[in-house]
Structure 1
């Protein structure tokens, strides 16, 4: 089969499309013919060998990729025969293997894909969707809430904006460039602002003045100067929920109080807040259910599997809209 392999940590060009042996499922595992593989900024950090995102860097050479959707084509010992031939999606955790024509998955991680979802949408919801559900467990959105979302055209920002809009909140979406802001506006944001333009905070303040209110919550996956400007838009008692820092500049820890604003930095523990014996799976089921019901529609940027390096460069350069997906 063909797969993307990483032989040395470093830039995106180190991702090589080459022939490898088909994987074989072990006990309790299945093999999936991959139809879509998710790409995440965390994949880029692992590619570079950056310490921190994973317990330890993967052993090299490795096939990256932690989110897959496809059709089960082989079973390992003790895997239920009912999985054979079914459309499935799974998050692999920190196990590698997703950027390939076939991947091995623990059967316990599988979800059957709802009939009305395609493979790319399912991949978007199994990783990015479950993260959105985890973040939303830390705030209550509804009529009267005014939500500012940096990177609102990204995979996560798109879902958060849709959820807030559906809940009756006022949504202010920030994105980079005319194409992205147009997509944010089309998705239902009350205001879509290009945060690469000088003076964008004044545009948002003018909008808030017309509404006669201040922002109540910032859902922030960007950090840096953008985050500081967003916090300044919050009224007393507002909340700044931090779940990423693609622009850096956000300190670890929390919650913190800054001028009457509550700042809370969410880490991996946010995925365990759903409760129950398997809270992460609970969030995955919730995300897939929201998509199957049509309440959340993930945006997707697709690349052929062979162009994984280009996909990484585009994602790191913020040149994508929605979830980035590789298709073998």
Structure 2
């Protein structure tokens, strides 16, 4: 099979598209012929050894990046029901990675059957981003009467957050960087879109809201942008932090929480929210919502052989929409 392997930490040139041995499923495992592999800012952080941004231990090299794939089961190991053969599935690979490849193996218990009618690339895009978005929304609880500010509104997760918050009846303001991202934010259904890279973006947003303030800020940027968004919150508002692509998290102190009657939550990507059934239940919900069309990720497909070139055009802060590699 062909796969992308990383031999050292550094620039995208450290990624090599090459032939490697086909993996074979062991007991309790299946082999998946990959049709779509999700690419995340996490992959770029690991490749460049930006450990703080990756927020996880760096792998031993060489490694095949990629943590989530969709495809068709083409072989089963001992003890696995042969009925899995030929089924379309999507799965996260855990810390083992290995997704940037034509073939992967995974324990059968970790698989999700892809709902009929749902495209493989959409399924893998929504597995992680949808899981995260639903976990964030379970904490943020937007509803009619809320004004929700999403600071990374053009990202894979941010697009889904905008859609879902709009669907809950909230007024949604999406912050993004540049005209292309702003266009996507509007297409996702946001009531307002503001360029967070422009000076005075907070004042512009306040003017567009006719002096009203957000009741919920969902922040995936951190740094100065996150702090500015925090300061916009209405008294009694909710701050939900799910990342800090800027490199530093949004700061907030107990005094500010107390004086402005705010609540603050941090949602980890690995465990996006306490929920009945855990992470797997959120993944099932995300796939079901995508099958119904209520979660509709923007998917940008690229050939797997171009992984190095694609990563060269991205950054740890991510890209507009979800990036998926197709073998």
Please confirm whether the aligned pair reaches a TM-score higher than 0.5, indicating the same fold: yes
1:175 is matched with which residue? 176
Indicate conservation of the 8 Å contact 1:153/1:184, yes or no. Answer: yes
Separation in 2, partners of 1:142, 1:204: 20
Separation in 1, partners of 2:193, 2:72: 38
Map Cα deviations across residues 124-147 of structure 1 (whole Å, 9 max, x no partner): 111111111111121211101110
Tell me, what secondary structure is at the counterpart of 2:164?
helix
The unaligned stretches of length 5 or more in structure 2 are none
Separation in 2, partners of 1:28, 1:84: 13
1:223 is matched with which residue? 222
Indicate conservation of the 8 Å contact 1:5/1:15, yes or no. Answer: yes
Map Cα deviations across residues 168-195 of structure 1 (whole Å, 9 max, x no partner): 0000001111121112112211101111
Indicate conservation of the 8 Å contact 2:147/2:214, yes or no. Answer: yes
Separation in 2, partners of 1:118, 1:173: 27
Indicate conservation of the 8 Å contact 2:245/2:316, yes or no. Answer: no
Matches within 5 A, 1:32-43: 32-43=32-43
Indicate conservation of the 8 Å contact 1:252/1:265, yes or no. Answer: no
Question: How far did 1:251 drift?
Answer: 5.9
Separation in 2, partners of 1:107, 1:120: 20
Greater shift, 127-136 or 242-251, is seen at 242-251
Tell me, what secondary structure is at the counterpart of 2:234?
strand
Tell me, what secondary structure is at the counterpart of 2:4?
strand
Indicate conservation of the 8 Å contact 2:39/2:324, yes or no. Answer: yes
Matches within 5 A, 1:85-234: 85-209=86-210, 213-234=212-233
Indicate conservation of the 8 Å contact 2:41/2:318, yes or no. Answer: no
1:72 is matched with which residue? 73
Question: How far did 1:115 drift?
Answer: 1.5
Indicate conservation of the 8 Å contact 1:67/1:123, yes or no. Answer: yes
Matches within 5 A, 1:3-14: 3-14=3-14
User: TM-score with structure 2 length normalisation?
Assistant: 0.93
Question: How far did 1:221 drift?
Answer: 0.5
Tell me, what secondary structure is at the counterpart of 2:175?
strand
Map Cα deviations across residues 287-317 of structure 1 (whole Å, 9 max, x no partner): 0011111111001122110111122233317
1:314 is matched with which residue? 313
Alpha carbons of 1:192 and 1:49: their partners in 2 closer, same or farther (altered >3 Å)? same
- The alignment status of 1:275 with 2:249, answered yes or no, reads no
Q: How many residues align?
A: 324
Indicate conservation of the 8 Å contact 1:254/1:263, yes or no. Answer: no
Separation in 1, partners of 2:83, 2:324: 27
2:267 is matched with which residue? 266
RMSD of aligned alpha carbons: 2.0
Indicate conservation of the 8 Å contact 1:300/1:321, yes or no. Answer: no
Indicate conservation of the 8 Å contact 2:40/2:318, yes or no. Answer: no
Separation in 1, partners of 2:173, 2:214: 9
Separation in 2, partners of 1:8, 1:311: 18
User: TM-score with structure 1 length normalisation?
Assistant: 0.93
2:247 is matched with which residue? 248
Separation in 1, partners of 2:5, 2:156: 24
Indicate conservation of the 8 Å contact 2:221/2:244, yes or no. Answer: yes
The unaligned stretches of length 5 or more in structure 1 are none
Question: How far did 1:256 drift?
Answer: 7.7
Separation in 2, partners of 1:43, 1:300: 17
Tell me, what secondary structure is at the counterpart of 1:271?
coil
Question: How far did 1:326 drift?
Answer: 0.5
